[in-house]
Amino acid sequence: MIVHYAFTETPLGEVLIASDEQGLCFMGFTEENRAEALADLERRIKPASLVEDKSDQWITQVHAWLSAGMIGEHHLPLSLHGTPFQVAVWKALLEIPYGTVVSYQAIARAIGRPKAVRAVGTAIGRNNLSILIPCHRVLTTSGGIGGYRWGIARKQRLLEQEGVGWKEL
């Protein structure tokens, strides 16, 4: 499978973006280590033949959305690579409207596995499309910020930008 990729800047730091025939399949912060970001991409999306391509149609569209400030929904085609359970969780995340938040427990119920709360947390953390799949809109039932693969600070900034007040939940 051919996978196109490119690096680009966002308001929250540099990201590595990748897409395949179905759509965008990866977006992750490089954290100043492009080699590691690429290794991560290769681990998650395989088998894959990586080809750098900054003019890939979907990559340029994400770039445009990112440059515009990541305001509102993005409507970009996503290619979900994962176990059936993970894909179910990620699809549930895509149903969360811009500017609203839900709990890990609510996601567990939404996919019909009310007791798999912890596994849901793990699946959310393994989501390949940070920001594009709104994993930052999931908080703990007690209103706590919860975790974030790319650092709590980024999660807070994303929520703040969407106008979510988490201080008194």
Partner DNA sequence: CCCGACACGGTGC
Partner DNA sequence: GCACCGTGTCGGG
> How far apart (Å, rounded) are the C-alpha atoms in residues 18 and 54?
10
CB of residue 164 vs DNA: minimum separation in angstroms? Answer: 13
25 is catalytic: no
Report residue 74 as tokens.
């993005």
Instruction: Please identify which of the residues 18, 92, 133, 135 carries the catalytic annotation.
Output: 135
Rounded-to-integer distance, Cα 68 and Cα 31, Å? 22
- Closest contact distance (angstroms) between CB of 70 and DNA is 16
Task: Provide, rounded to whole angstroms, the least separation between the CB of residue 88 and DNA.
Answer: 9
| Smallest separation (angstroms) from DNA to the CB of 73 | 18
The two three-digit tokens of residue 134, written as one number: 């709104």
Question: Which residue do the tokens 């798999």 mark?
Answer: 116
Contact residues for DNA, defined by CB under 7 A: 82-86, 103-105, 113, 115-125, 127, 130, 135-136, 138, 140-142, 144, 146-149, 155
Measured between alpha carbons, how far is 67 from 55 in angstroms, rounded to an integer?
A: 15
Find how far residue 88's CA is from the centre of its chain.
14
Q: Compute the distance between CA of residue 48 and CA of residue 7 in angstroms, rounded to an integer.
A: 17
3-state DSSP assignment of residue 6: strand
> Using omega within 30 degrees of 0 as the cis cutoff, is the peptide bond preceding 134 cis?
no
Q: What is the largest CA-CA distance in the chain?
A: 47
Residues annotated as catalytic (active site), given as ranges:
135
